[in-house]
């Protein structure tokens, strides 16, 4: 009698990671060059702009206003994202060149500078029975702030001329991310209902835009021949460093929020929004800031993205089994 082999329920099998691996393999075998590279680049830019338009159209103005009242939570998440993460990234400089190459370290530091996620933070907060409206607002606020703060931090902290920061690059990022988000907010009245009824649309655009940007960035890397700089040992070292980084941020965001007096639901939102990084926001920024070296620069972000999904899925399912707090403890 044949038995069906099943994987543990706590192990998330995300088809998207297979799509990412397939996209990288496609870029390695058939990299876009010349006119094809221009077409791929234009398509990825348009897809990311559409993604942020949909994010803006999905966020209720009332939810944003309600979220502003919970300013301590949002300041805490922003502190984790744009203060603690960069500090840990700077501390990792001592690992060069023994564990990380200078190029991989630049990518790791860039990872520490990008904003938090939106969709996965909301999903994991919901699974763990946390404060979902707070997670929605925290992820959205982080993305908006990151459009300006991430390029400025990258220009200040990533040395050696690795980042081609200029007023023009900042304008490109604002035009690609912030303006579509604002347009989505302005048009929410007319398109919000449609998006609510077709939630899968946002997920498809989200993942499709990321795959396009990954293909474009890795194609540029293949054409430039920069992948000969990475060895298996260096990749293993990078994964180990990222595991420590993620564990540190998960612990600090959870126990630090408790010390600051946040209740359980808020602590869950802070942990998931404050410990994770966004591929959707980070990839287009890297393509503008790093140019032909973007594929190597975003490699740490891609690896960290899958790692955070797997680890946070386990944590969210365990938090869902926690006993519900008493009403007095749950009140803000």
Name the residue ranges covered by the structural domains of the chain.
Answer: 36-320
Q: Is the dihedral of CA 97, 98, 104, 109 positive or negative?
A: negative
DSSP letter, residue 174 = I
Give the model's pLDDT for residue 331.
46
Give the model's pLDDT for residue 31.
85
- List per-block mean pLDDT (blocks of 10 residues) for the chain, which spans 332 residues: 44 66 84 81 80 78 70 94 97 94 92 89 87 85 88 81 61 80 86 77 74 78 70 91 97 96 95 91 82 77 85 87 60 46
CA 3 to chain centre: 38
Give the model's pLDDT for residue 323.
75
DSSP letter, residue 325 = P
Between CA 251 and CA 258 the distance in angstroms is 11
Confirm if 172 and 49 have CB atoms less than 8 A apart.
no
Q: Where are the alpha helices (DSSP H) in the chain?
A: 15-29, 35-58, 61-68, 71-79, 85-91, 102-111, 119-127, 132-157, 167-173, 179-197, 199-224, 232-259, 264-274, 279-290, 294-320, 327-330
Single pTM value for the model: 0.80
Give the model's pLDDT for residue 164.
56
Confirm if 142 and 273 have CB atoms less than 8 A apart.
yes
Give the model's pLDDT for residue 296.
79
Any idea which architecture 36-320 has in CATH?
Answer: Up-down Bundle (1.20)
């Amino acid at each position: 009698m044949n038995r069906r082999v099943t994987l543990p329920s706590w192990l998330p099998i995300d088809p998207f990671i297979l799509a990412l691996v397939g996209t990288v393999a496609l870029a390695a075998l058939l990299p876009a060059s010349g006119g094809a590279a221009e077409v791929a680049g234009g398509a990825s830019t348009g897809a990311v702009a559409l993604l942020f338009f949909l994010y803006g159209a999905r966020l209720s103005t009332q939810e944003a206003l309600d979220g502003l009242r919970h300013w301590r939570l949002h300041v805490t998440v922003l502190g984790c994202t744009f203060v603690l993460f960069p500090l840990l990234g700077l501390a990792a400089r001592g690992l060069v060149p023994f564990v990380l190459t200078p190029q991989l370290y630049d990518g790791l530091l860039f990872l520490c500078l990008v904003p938090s996620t939106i969709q996965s933070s909301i999903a994991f907060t919901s699974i763990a029975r946390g404060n979902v409206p707070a997670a929605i607002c925290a992820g959205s606020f982080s993305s908006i702030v990151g459009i300006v703060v991430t390029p400025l931090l990258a220009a200040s902290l990533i040395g050696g001329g690795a980042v081609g920061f200029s007023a023009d690059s900042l304008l490109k990022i604002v035009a690609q991310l912030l303006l579509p988000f604002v347009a989505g907010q302005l048009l929410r009245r007319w398109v919000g209902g449609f998006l609510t009824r077709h939630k899968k649309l946002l997920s498809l655009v989200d993942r499709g835009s990321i795959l396009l940007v990954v293909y474009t960035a890795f194609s540029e890397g293949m054409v430039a021949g920069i992948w000969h700089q990475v060895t298996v040992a260096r990749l293993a070292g990078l994964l180990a460093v990222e595991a420590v980084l993620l564990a540190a941020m998960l612990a600090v965001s959870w126990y630090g929020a408790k010390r600051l007096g946040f209740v359980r639901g808020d602590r869950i939102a802070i942990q998931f929004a404050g410990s994770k990084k966004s591929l959707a926001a980070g990839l287009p920024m890297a393509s503008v800031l790093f140019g032909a070296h973007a594929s190597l620069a975003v490699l740490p972000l891609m690896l960290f993205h899958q790692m955070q999904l797997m680890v946070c899925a386990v944590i969210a399912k365990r938090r869902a089994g926690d006993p519900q707090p008493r009403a007095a403890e749950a009140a803000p």
